Amino acid sequence: MWYPNRAQWPILWAVAALLVLAWPPDRGRSLGVKAVNWLADPTGSLPTLPAPLPMALDDDGDAVPAHDAEEAEYYRVRGSSPTTRWRMRVKEVSDPFDSATERQLLVGLAVMSALGVWRLNGIR
């Protein structure tokens, strides 16, 4: 039975952790991105930029001031400090690639790592 040697273990652990953290689900964000989003705002206290007002509201007089107040609060908090601005940016980060592209890259990384581990097995 084959067992990894000391040089192979770090590669196997690092690639396994990266695959688990970066593998994108069918919908939503990967586990690693969700963790980064949560670390930026663990209590959920930072505001998010409100969506634009839909055209279907027509003449709703209460919706426009409410939306403007949410937007003003967002920009007030965002302008309060560079650290808060950075946290708000990190809170809204998403996966860098399309899910299908990200899966292809991760499978390629896994295959290349397996070949590297196999190559290290031959070096004694």
pLDDT, tens only, 38-52 = 999 999 999 998 888
pLDDT in tens, 71-105: 999 999 999 999 999 999 999 999 999 999 999 99
C-alpha dist (Å) from residue 29 to 8, 15, 42, 82, 122: 30, 19, 17, 26, 38
Confidence of residue 121 (pLDDT cuts 50, 70, 90): confident
Name the nearest CA neighbour of 50 among 29, 74, 84.
74
At residue 84, the pLDDT reads: 94
pLDDT at 124 over 70: no
Contact between 74 and 49 (Cβ < 8 Å): yes
